[in-house]
Amino acid sequence: MRFRTSLKWILGVAIMVYAVTPAGAQTVPAGGQSVPFKGKTALNPQEQSEQAQMVLRRMDDQRAAVNKQLQTAKQQRDAIKITCLEDKLTQMDVTKKTAKQAGNDLANAVRTGNSEAAGHHFTIVTISQGRVDELAAAANQCIGEDTAFVGATNVTTTITDVPPTEDGYPPLDPTLVSLPPACTSCQL
């Protein structure tokens, strides 16, 4: 009886030790330093700053479009659309504020020549743009429209006078069609 109790304790401790050991497999680089971010952009810091300013202007356009949708919803006195659009607009404002601060920090990093900080702040701006794109799409769903994009749309259509031919298709072979299997219960 005593042997079983001690065996249970030993087994329980062994299971606990085994459960804790995978955390030890996570190693830290020598010196306790963090692993650097590997995703580098192909743009130089000056181009990043220009791109960030263009992204911030696009965010302004998207915010203006959502604000216009909100004003229309207010004229229609649709409380559900108003609530949804105000929520998306508030989230856009917070994201835009973050992106604007990152854009200012990016400009400062470009002036001081700190390309690593510039890349970091540019990443924040581009991630913020993705979030604003998502919020704009969600705002369109609030009012029941499909996803729309702000900006010019250019559609090019080419029509030829030659109808398509069926020469490129293989001929239909009637032997390829197989019959369904016979009913086994019917043969009994």
Residue range 125-173, pLDDT digits in tens: 999 999 999 999 999 888 886 544 556 677 777 776 665 555 655 555 6
Q: How buried is residue 23: exposed, middle or buried, by Cβ count under 10 Å (0-12/13-18/19+)?
A: exposed
Residue 44: the pLDDT is: 81
Farthest-apart Cα atoms in the chain, separation: 94
Q: How buried is residue 139: exposed, middle or buried, by Cβ count under 10 Å (0-12/13-18/19+)?
A: buried
- The answer to whether the beta carbons of residues 150 and 61 sit under 8 Å apart is yes
List all residues 6 or more positions away from 161 whose beta carbon is below 8 Å from its beta carbon: none
Q: Tell how far CA 140 is from the center of its chain.
A: 17
At 107-130, the pLDDT tens digits run: 898 888 888 888 888 999 999 999
Angle at Cα 39 formed by Cα 34 and Cα 45, nearest 5°? 105
List all residues 6 or more positions away from 102 whose beta carbon is below 8 Å from its beta carbon: 52, 121, 122, 124, 125, 128
Residue 2: the pLDDT is: 63
- 32 has a pLDDT exceeding 50: no
Please tell me what DSSP assigns to residue 169.
S
| Cα gap 18→86, rounded to integer Å | 51
| Cα gap 4→68, rounded to integer Å | 75
Which pLDDT band, with edges at 50, 70 and 90, does 9 fall under? confident
What are the domain boundaries of the chain?
45-142
Alpha helices in 27-78 (DSSP H): 45-76
- 5 has a pLDDT exceeding 80: no
Residue 142: the pLDDT is: 86
Q: How buried is residue 49: exposed, middle or buried, by Cβ count under 10 Å (0-12/13-18/19+)?
A: buried
Q: How buried is residue 143: exposed, middle or buried, by Cβ count under 10 Å (0-12/13-18/19+)?
A: middle
| Averaged pLDDT for residues 27-42 | 49
At 39-85, the pLDDT tens digits run: 455 778 888 888 889 999 999 999 999 999 999 989 989 888 899 99
Residue 45: the pLDDT is: 81
| Cα gap 116→40, rounded to integer Å | 9
The three-class DSSP label of residue 44 is coil
